[in-house]
Structure 1
């Protein structure tokens, strides 16, 4: 029997300087059975479905509550203040955790991320709120 291949997931987080950054985490598949390997169960606080039309683009903003974002349809680009971007397509996921630092006043030149839809297909996503991401 081969060892399980862990999931690699991206986290969008607020670094010590208040700026949003990306980092990758590995989720271990230590539970379940050899034919259905699972991560440990993480608590969730509800979910929301979203659809954004072609042309969707946001200004810089912070995540209000930590949440998993799962792309169901379309392609979503996340851009950071430093100019870096990542694109997420159907079946891809990231943990959105770039909340405004406690006591900070939002500055759109420093804080948060922007997002936009790439292409003409509407963007459909599922948000699952949790403060316990499982990594």
Structure 2
């Protein structure tokens, strides 16, 4: 699946529904995790998201970001 949002988009805290990879194709996005750590991801960055329980993460698109595009691949459950 693909995700794109305008500059300044501001998400809410949420856990991911399934483990997933997120790859930045264009632009950048910022992620804050529950311990307060914040990182900015740019084109070419790949993120493994495993916060399927608890508070999750907070994601936003910086005001300075131009067009952005992220591809998200959900991973199979670990049975």
TM-score normalised by length of structure 1: 0.52
Query: Mean alpha-carbon deviation: is it higher for 68-77 or for 116-125?
Result: 116-125
CA distance in 1, matches of 2:35, 2:48: 19
Q: Which has the higher strand share?
A: 1
Unaligned regions of 5+ residues in structure 1, if any? 1-47, 101-109
2:59 is the alignment partner of 1:115:
yes
> How many pairs align?
76
CA RMSD of aligned residues (A): 1.5
TM-score normalised by length of structure 2: 0.85
Hey, which bits of structure 1, 4+ residues long, moved more than 4 A?
Answer: none
Unaligned regions of 5+ residues in structure 2, if any? none
Match of 1:54 in 2: 7
Of 68, 71, 74 in structure 2, the residue corresponding to residue 129 of structure 1 is: 74
